[in-house]
Amino acid sequence: MNKDQIKGKVEEIKGDVKQRIGGATKDRSTQGEGWLEEKKGQVRQGIGDLKEEVKREDERDLDRDLGRKT
């Protein structure tokens, strides 16, 4: 897991909590803020996932290149 995946998950959870609080208090503004925060967290997690995939591909390429040179 990388920093973006972790921070994204935290942001997603905070957004979910904020939505629930807004729902319980019937505060639509807080609900909306929570929804937006949750979505931002999901996007950040996605960015982290992409970074991990790029890292794995780079490692595979390096392994393949080193294998050819030996």
Q: What Cα–Cα distance (Å) separates residue 68 from each residue in 5, 56, 62, 63, 65?
A: 34, 18, 10, 9, 5
Would you state the pLDDT for residue 35? Answer: 99
Which stretches does DSSP call E strand in 3-63? none
Q: Note the pLDDT tens digit of each residue in 8-65.
A: 999 999 999 999 999 999 999 999 999 999 999 999 999 999 999 999 999 888 888 8
Domain limits for position 10: 3-69
Q: Residue 43: is it exposed, middle or buried by C-beta count within 10 angstroms (0-12/13-18/19+)?
A: middle
Would you state the pLDDT for residue 41? Answer: 98
Would you state the pLDDT for residue 69? Answer: 60
Would you state the pLDDT for residue 11? Answer: 99
Report the distance separating Cα 31 and Cα 19, nearest Å: 4
Whether this prediction's pTM lies above 0.85 is answered by no
Please give the tally of structural domains in the chain: 1
